[in-house]
Amino acid sequence: MKNDLNILILSCGTRNKIVQYFKKELSGKGLIIATDSSGLAPALYEADKYFIVPRMNEEGYLECILSICKDNKIKAVLSLIDPELSLLAENKKAFLDIGTIPIVSNPEVIEKSFDKYKMYEFMIQNNFQTVKSYIDEAQFYNDLETGDIAFPVFVKPVKGSASINISKVTSKNEIKMLFSQFDNLMIQEFMDGAEYGADVYIDMLSEEPVSIFIKEKLKMRAGETDKSVSVKDEKLFKLIRDFVKKADFKGIIDIDIFKVNDAYYISEVNPRFGGGFPHAYECGVNVPKMIINNVSGNVNENVIGQYNEGIYMMKFNEVKVFSHKLLSTGGRR
């Protein structure tokens, strides 16, 4: 087997399906290599080869990843967690210098995605309907008095993921208490409508959106889609195309959207594989293959909307069992 298209997946954690999909699509063309800071990350053991590495915030982490890329002739690298996207984007040149392509948007785009209020401002400035948001308590109380917003609302970190530390509140006292206890919070309108997720791939070479998969979220768990059904809507396809091009995203992104009274409101963007991506892949939306095409120097065809509606996804638990010996191999399989 000619191993000339090796791909590295960082911080694989429990995202076994993503590793499996890449391994399937890369079969005969190269190796899938995975990393995590814990030997108990089950997705490690789906890869052809794995490394147990330091935590991302530990000294020497970047050098460790660059060394893995160089030693294993890695052609492309991607991460499955938010904090690491900034590291890849900011150090893109260091990876390119050793022949490794980071599958990630530019640093300023990543930063805008992680700062929910910056993304809110961007959407307002560019006339995209979005979820009303505040970082100024006084402005919120003023709009509350004039009826421009009403309880309940959500209070959440300006920078955060996986629905961590999000509170649904129904009174001024609750807001005052939260703002007095924590820094960098924002207040966000409660959207009483259907919630959608879009898995979008923007070709790394043509910089055009070539794939959009839309699902209605039926049940959430720990911030990830647990149950969903595939849907199509030309109006939403157009909105997403316009948004990702205006925002200058590249590669795989995951968008949260609300539908209220037949209008769509873009909520948040995760510039990586979303937790509900397996739904898209199982419906034939093959983003791993698109990434492999780009890494091979090929532009992908536009396949937006080429999937069936009414296909349901239901996640369920699985287990991975292995011997203690695997944990004592120094992280190399």
Per residue in 184-238, pLDDT (tens digit) is 999 999 999 999 999 999 999 999 999 999 999 999 887 789 999 999 999 999 9
Is there a contact between 51 and 21 (Cβ–Cβ < 8 Å)?
no
For residue 144, is it left (φ>0), alpha (ψ between -120 and 50) or beta? Answer: alpha
Tokens of 243: 């948004």
For the chain, what are the domain ranges?
Answer: 6-104, 132-189, 192-314
Place of tokens 């300006």: 158
Per residue in 108-146, pLDDT (tens digit) is 999 999 999 999 999 999 999 999 999 999 999 999 999
Residue range 47-68: average pLDDT?
Answer: 97
Topology of domain 6-104, per CATH? Rossmann fold (3.40.50)
For residue 119, the SS3 value is: helix
Alpha helices in 126-195 (DSSP H): 137-146, 172-181
User: Looking at 98-107, 140-149, 153-162, 177-186, which range is the least confident one?
Assistant: 153-162
pLDDT of residue 223: 78
Is there a contact between 85 and 253 (Cβ–Cβ < 8 Å)?
no
At residue 1, does pLDDT exceed 60?
no
CATH of domain 192-314: 3.30.470.20
pLDDT of residue 332: 47
At residue 52, does pLDDT exceed 80?
yes
Topology of domain 132-189, per CATH? Dna Ligase; domain 1 (3.30.1490)
CA distance 93 to 163: 32
pTM attached to this predicted model: 0.94
At residue 326, does pLDDT exceed 70?
no
- Kindly tell me the sign of the dihedral angle through the C-alpha atoms of 282, 13, 19, 5: positive
CA dihedral 281, 251, 203, 89 (to 10 degrees): -160
For residue 6, the SS3 value is: strand
